Structure 1
């Protein structure tokens, strides 16, 4: 009886160990082909890989399979919401909303996990090295050299990153579309943090984006009787889940 109990316990521990090990697809340096890592029981087993030693961790993204499915549903719900808003708006507002909708539709999103991936932090931070259970995808690469302009502006897209340049300066050559917020923009940093940046002449503050950041010009409070905060928040959430390019 004692022998049977010991055998059962060993099998149980072995099964738990197998269950805890994660499988990770790794996309590095812009490659479209993933390398698969199996048996990663904790985060450090992944980010501590020697082949990833030169990665730029502030912009790295790890996603989980079920969270990715949820992120895709959220993106689709956001697109539906914007389509409904455009249908109920004036011609100028509808054109602006549809331009924003096209940008969001072009995004590739994933179920980003909110955790610091820097191996030095993972090793020492409390709860910084969680177990990996299930299927994950990791994107890592070198430091980017651009900033992306996004939202209700005339020419969205990438601009060269310039040290010391602030958000207002990046937007200075843009025309704002109908219903755009003219007083504030948002910075979505590569690590998923967001920051509201005052950009009008009366409230301008020097906010510098990091390379790889997104500068988002959203919907203005004064234009919408229905609160735009929820819509802008959903757009920002989608931007934080963008797959690094």
Structure 2
């Protein structure tokens, strides 16, 4: 009995002095790896690098690397494109566009995007902008002000164009090599902070919505009458693009 009581006291003492560890967190920040034994908050992750440069916080992006969700979505999307090519083999213009989409999607670097605002000052002073990391492996991209805007979708090939201050998103498409099945009236804008906006580009719905530096402009395919597959394709392309890891 005496030995049992001594063992209980020893275990209790160890529990008092041993910190509770929720799990390990690894964060790759601009090619440098940081490891945390417990689950840090965003301000702790940003602290070693936040003041190293004049970061453009709207373009900062956090990705979870140990998730296969984006690859599963890519697989579904590519399967759908193959089926649509078979079902529309007589439509050369559509097949050419679908082949271009295959090349674009296959070349993307993907990781699961976690849509949280990333700003060091906000994280330090506002609890709602300072979430705690779950256990896992992450990629955190910090950038200076990006110089480009990225175009993808119903194009002969995706494009990288120079960002122009005060230019509406629709203006970037004017010189793009869009295909015959592109829906130029209903563009979609993916801002670098993760916000998605519909951008009217036709004379009857044109709106002055600016693309932020580092934004993506999606040129969707025209919806086919009595065929919801093309609407689903556009939705999947937009969703997958939200998980792109851009340069």
With normalisation by structure 2, the TM-score equals: 0.86
Match of 2:92 in 1: 91
1:195 to 180, 185, 197: 197
Count residues in correspondence. Answer: 235
Structure 1 residues 172-181 or 106-115, which shifts more?
Answer: 172-181
Q: Are the structure 2 counterparts of residues 227 and 136 from structure 1 closer, same or farther at C-alpha, using a change threshold of 3 Å? A: same
Aligned: 1:9 with 2:11: no
| More deviation, 198-207/148-157 | 148-157
Partner of 2:71: 72
Cα deviation, 1:131-150, whole Å, max 9, x if unaligned, reads 34122121222111111111
Listed as ranges, the gaps of 5+ residues in structure 1 are 28-33
* SS, match of residue 66 in structure 1: coil
Structure 2: stretches of 5+ with no match in the other structure:
none
Answer yes or no: is 1:225 the counterpart of 2:227. Answer: yes
Choose 1 or 2 for highest CA Rg: 2
- Equivalent residue, structure 2, for 1:163: 165
- CA-to-aligned-CA distance 1:122-181 (integer Å, 9 cap, x gap): 221326321341221212221111111111124531111111111221111234313221
Distance 1:184 1:194 in 2: 13
Residues 14-93 of structure 1 mapped to structure 2, 5 A cutoff: 14=19, 16-17=20-21, 19-27=22-30, 34-39=31-36, 41-50=40-49, 53-54=52-53, 55-67=55-67, 69-89=68-88, 90-93=91-94
- Aligned Cα RMSD in Å? 2.2
Does the 8 A contact of 2:57 with 2:118 survive in 1?
A: yes
**Matching residue of 1:106:** 107
Question: Aligned partners of 1:105 and 1:195: how far apart in 2?
Answer: 25
Shift of 1:209: 0.4
Alignment check: 8 A CA contact 2:100 2:156 kept? no
Cross-structure match for 1:148: 150
